[in-house]
């Protein structure tokens, strides 16, 4: 069984097309980054706190968000796992312990 009849490809002759395609993909990626305001860095690079809470019962996300806003974390990201009854809370920045 033969999959390809002609196996003599002119890769060197087509290299300029490949360069053009690579440059087009690279420039479109850079343009996308610029248009979206740069890469979205995770908590590993920006600092902050990540907490996963296991709950006895599901709590509405609006109640959790209201409690975090009242605590001064209005920009916190919440991720709900209804099946596991757990929530992940990500807060940018951190409040270090004050020396006193």
Does 98 score more than 50 pLDDT?
no
Question: Could you tell me if 87 and 80 are in contact, meaning their C-beta atoms sit under 8 angstroms apart?
Answer: yes
| pLDDT band at residue 31 under the 50/70/90 scheme | very high
In the sheet with 77-81, reading across from the earlier edge strand, the strands are 48-54, 86-92, 77-81
Please give the pLDDT value at position 14. 94
pLDDT at residue 18, rounded to an integer: 96
Q: Name the pairing type of β-strands 77-81 and 48-54.
A: unpaired
pLDDT digits (tens, 9 = 90+) for 57-93: 888 888 888 988 898 888 888 888 877 788 888 887 7
The domain limits of the chain are: 43-92
Q: Residue 76 CB: number of other CB atoms within 10 A? A: 19
pTM: 0.50
pLDDT of residue 95: 57
DSSP 49: E
pLDDT value of position 97: 42
């Amino acid at each position: 069984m033969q999959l390809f009849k002609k196996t003599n490809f002119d890769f060197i002759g087509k290299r300029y097309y490949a360069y053009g395609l690579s440059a087009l993909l690279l420039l479109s990626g850079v343009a996308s980054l610029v248009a979206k305001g740069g890469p979205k860095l995770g908590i590993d690079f920006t600092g902050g706190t990540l907490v996963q809470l296991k709950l006895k019962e599901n709590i509405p996300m609006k109640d959790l968000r209201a409690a975090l806003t009242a605590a001064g974390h209005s920009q916190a990201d919440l991720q709900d796992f209804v099946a596991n009854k757990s929530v992940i809370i990500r807060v940018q920045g951190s409040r270090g312990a004050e020396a006193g």
